[in-house]
């Protein structure tokens, strides 16, 4: 419970946005299949964050690997923009979840710190605890996915051409940021814009 509370609390922190903001792309882009996208985003994000924290061979992506990841994100954004089905939603969620968790440099509180300081080897026992943390951090995606189901009037706004164009553009922006090493700057800029809008 402590770990989940710390994760929920950390949603408001700038450091955490690098794991949360990319989730908006598959969640909104998947339209009526948003629950698939959110589920796979959290699942893939959990596994990659766990690997990132435990596996010595799991290197931080840069150079050609980063460019390839950016290409995959751009391609996935385009597919999501064009197609609406469960398979695309699930794959897009998994891709965005995996990449964002891979690139995430978290600010660490006491509970996550306890977990990370224990995680010096690939220990499967710790995976559920990493999943709890990622679920907490990505939890705002749950109401984002669920709201149009609860209030069908929102479906029109979610599926509107302009909304889907913005989501596609966000996906491309993140892809370029990943490919050319400006990912944190892109996330930071999006944070600043959102604060100004609020």
Partner 1 sequence: MSNQQPDSPPPSPGTSRRAGLAAMGLFALLLAGAVGWSVASGDGEPVIAASNDTAEPATATATTQTILSEAPEVLRPRPELLENDGWLQSPYSSLEELDGQVYIVEFWTFGCFNCRAVKPHLRAIYDTYRDDGLEIIGIHAPEFEFEKDVEAIKQAAADQNVNWPIVLDTNKKSFRHWQEDRRFWPRTYVVDQNGDIRYDHIGEGAYDELEATVAWLLENGA
Site residues (vs partner 1, CB under 8 A): 1-2, 4-6, 8-10, 13-15, 31-33, 35, 52-53, 56, 58-60, 81-87, 105-114, 116-117, 139, 142-143, 145-152, 159, 161, 164, 184-185, 187-189, 191-192
Q: How far apart are CA 195 and CA 152, in angstroms?
A: 28
Cα torsion angle, 170, 26, 179, 50, sign = positive
Residue 177 beta carbon to partner 1: minimum distance, rounded to whole angstroms: 12
Residue 141 beta carbon to partner 1: minimum distance, rounded to whole angstroms: 10
Residue 56 beta carbon to partner 1: minimum distance, rounded to whole angstroms: 7
Two tokens, residue 14: 């700038």
Q: Are 118 and 25 in contact (CB under 8 A)?
A: no
Q: Which is nearer to partner 1, 6 or 92 (CB)?
A: 6
Residue 72 beta carbon to partner 1: minimum distance, rounded to whole angstroms: 20
**DSSP label at 106?**
-
Q: Are 88 and 80 in contact (CB under 8 A)?
A: yes
Q: How far apart are CA 25 and CA 89, in angstroms?
A: 10
Q: In angstroms, what is the C-alpha Rg of the chain?
A: 16
Q: Are 96 and 25 in contact (CB under 8 A)?
A: yes
Residue 33 beta carbon to partner 1: minimum distance, rounded to whole angstroms: 7
Q: How far apart are CA 20 and CA 142, in angstroms?
A: 11
Q: Which is nearer to partner 1, 63 or 152 (CB)?
A: 152
Instruction: Give me the count of residues in the chain.
Output: 198
């Amino acid at each position: 419970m402590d770990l989940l509370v710390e994760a929920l609390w950390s949603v408001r922190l700038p450091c955490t946005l690098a794991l949360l903001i990319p989730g908006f792309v598959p969640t909104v882009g998947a339209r009526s299949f948003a629950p698939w996208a959110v589920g796979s985003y959290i699942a893939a994000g959990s596994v990659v964050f766990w690997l990132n924290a435990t596996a010595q061979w799991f290197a931080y992506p840069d150079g050609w690997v980063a460019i390839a990841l950016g290409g995959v994100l751009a391609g996935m954004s385009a597919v999501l923009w064009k197609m609406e089905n469960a398979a695309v939603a699930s794959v897009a969620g998994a891709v965005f979840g995996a990449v964002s968790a891979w690139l995430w440099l978290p600010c660490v509180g006491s509970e996550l710190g306890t977990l990370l300081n224990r995680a010096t080897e690939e220990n499967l026992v710790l995976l559920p605890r990493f999943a709890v943390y990622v679920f907490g951090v990505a939890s705002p995606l749950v109401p984002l996915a669920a709201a149009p189901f609860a209030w069908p009037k929102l479906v029109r706004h979610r599926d509107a051409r302009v909304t889907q164009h913005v989501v596609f553009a966000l996906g491309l922006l993140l892809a370029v940021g990943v490919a050319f090493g400006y990912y944190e700057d892109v996330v930071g800029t999006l944070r600043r814009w959102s604060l100004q809008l609020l």
